[in-house]
Amino acid sequence: MTTAGTLRDRSVIVALTGGIACYKTATVVSRLAQAGAEVTVLMTDAATRFIGPLTLQSLSGRPVYTSQWQSIENHDAQHVQLARRASLMLIAPTSANTIAKLAAGICDNVVTTVACALPRSTPVLVAPAMNAEMWENPITQRNIATLRDVLNYHLIGPETGWQACRTQGAGRMSEPEAIVEMVKSLIG
């Protein structure tokens, strides 16, 4: 896969929320960095239980934010600075919990706080990942409609297939290659 330079001078926030699909996001971070993007990783506390920040720091070559209270790059309101310089924010995996928080405007972690601070012109791509019952829940579907119709977020997936709960159904996070291609189509 030759992608070098296609995202040069683009700042991409990759945010991970709690879910086994976090392992796929490591590949997304690597591919975006290889394509020349400046990748900044944000993780909820739940995401850090599935994959370590050090892995994503190594792949992105940048510090990883795991708290809305961190001031890594400067002493200003970090979430505002991150949001202002972003070309795109990708949330992958996006849990049902985070989808609900985004739809309701709840800003209680680094991912939801930065998402809320983004300029309206900055594209947000969500890659849902959850089991089929959670995905099909009418509240989740209402929240997805809010993200799409009110906040103008873009959606990739979810896919249908084998899930960690040992069942088949809709809810699998899209594959890394598809996510990277969607990022490129939105900002490349």
Hey, which residues are catalytic here? 165
Q: Which pair of structure tokens corresponds to residue 44?
A: 């909820």
Strand, helix or coil for residue 180:
helix
Please give the Cα distance from 3 to 184 (Å, whole number).
Answer: 10
Helices (H), 5-137: 22-34, 53-60, 78-85, 96-104, 110-117, 132-136
Position 117, amino acid: A
Q: Are strands 159-162 and 168-172 parallel, antiparallel or unpaired?
A: antiparallel
